[in-house]
Amino acid sequence: MPSLLPKTPQFFQLHHIEDQALATEAAAGLLAASAWASPKFFYDALGSRLFDAITELAEYYPTRTEAGIFTAHGAEIGAAALKLTGTAPALVDLGAGNCAKAARLFGWLQPRRYVAVDISVDFLRHSLHGLQREHPQVDMVGVGLDFSTQLRLPPDVLAGQPALVFYPGSSIGNFAPDDALRLLRQAREAAAGGALLIGVDLLKPPALLQAAYDDDLGVTAAFNLNLLKHLNRLLGANFDLRQWQHVAVFNAAQSRVEMHLQARLATTVRWPGAERSFAAGERVHTENSYKWTTEGFAALLRDAGFGSLQHWTDPQRWFGVFLAAG
């Protein structure tokens, strides 16, 4: 007789919030001549929820534009992906967040296994449990992992079978081109002869880019400032959020939107064993979002070893979805 108990996703936690290495990395960034913090520090449980709120904003075009591409071409993209991976592939979702984008692919792909990977472990666990209830037929695995240093999945998760690696939302844009290349090479290895399906934000007029990272309601500002709360917890630091403001600028020379936190007044931040003084106006650089041309991103995928490429865009050519294999 089949079990009446709800299925529970398997969970591997390879990343620990209190990991000393993360605290060391965060402290090194704050103590650098030009202070910086990795965008991965946005994503504690509140940060993940604030990101979800950002995707609802009128100014934040990437999520709805990418969704529009899947609405228009999803069946074609799904069929093209299955040709490369074989039927019922494992679907690996990098930076899965609320898992909603991958869930939209289930109808086209009928994956035998869904592997959701994210650094924001508690949020991922919650999202995956909800999704498992909606799709009891799919075998689900959660992996709490920081893939900015290395994308290495637990060995049994894919068992060497070809997979479709899904990396939506233009999160690849958070990596400078050399680091993006390294991550794409690792994604190709993880696909094990399958394919990569990746969403990429394309270059467009600066005013549109800037507004997407500096909305009038201040949700992106809260998302950026929440990083300081996360660092306070991680390091035992004493950032006073009211002394900091959100700044977003488009850096045309580097083809990227930058987010910073700027000190309103001269201030000193302390944590056990260290301190850092900031002059009024001094910044902590928290995120880069590189914007690509379709040709430039195709060249990057080829450099990463992918020989076969297909891509789809929206009518305004604001966003690209690439399917890469080989």
Ligand X SMILES: C[S@@+](CC[C@H](N)C(=O)[O-])C[C@H]1O[C@@H](n2cnc3c(N)ncnc32)[C@H](O)[C@@H]1O
By CB under 6 A, name the binding residues for ligand X.
40, 43, 48, 51, 55, 63, 95-97, 101, 118-120, 145-148, 168-169, 171
60 versus 239: smaller Cβ distance to ligand X: 60
β pairing state of 244-251 and 90-94? unpaired
CB 286, min distance to ligand X, A: 12
CB 266, min distance to ligand X, A: 31
28 versus 265: smaller Cβ distance to ligand X: 28
Residue type, 319: F
183 versus 284: smaller Cβ distance to ligand X: 183
CB 47, min distance to ligand X, A: 7
Beta bridge partners of 138: none
3-state per-residue secondary structure call for the chain? CCCCCCCCCEEEECCCCCCHHHHHHHHHHHHCCCCECCHHHHCCHHHHHHHHHHCCCCCCHHHHHHHHHHHHHHHHHHHHHHHHHCCCCEEEEECCCCCHHHHHHHHHHCCCEEEEEECCHHHHHHHHHHHHHHCCCCEEEEEECCCCCCCCCCCCCCCCCCEEEEECCCHHHHCCHHHHHHHHHHHHHHHCCCEEEEEEEECCCHHHHHHHCCCCCCHHHHHHHHHHHHHHHHHCCCCCHHHEEEEEEEECCCCEEEEEEEECCCEEEEECCEEEEECCCCEEEEEEEECECHHHHHHHHHHCCCCEEEEEECCCCCEEEEEEEC
- Residue 5: how many CA atoms within 13 Å on its side-chain side? 4
CB 243, min distance to ligand X, A: 26
30 versus 124: smaller Cβ distance to ligand X: 124
48 versus 224: smaller Cβ distance to ligand X: 48
29 versus 169: smaller Cβ distance to ligand X: 169
CB 321, min distance to ligand X, A: 12
40 versus 230: smaller Cβ distance to ligand X: 40
27 versus 117: smaller Cβ distance to ligand X: 117
CB 122, min distance to ligand X, A: 11
Q: Please, which residues have CB within 8 angstroms of residue 105's CB and are 6 or more apart in sequence?
A: 70, 74, 78, 91, 111, 166
CB 171, min distance to ligand X, A: 5
Residue 259, token pair as written in the block: 């987010």
118 versus 314: smaller Cβ distance to ligand X: 118
CB 118, min distance to ligand X, A: 5
How far apart CA 33 and CA 45 sit, in angstroms, is 30
CB 10, min distance to ligand X, A: 18
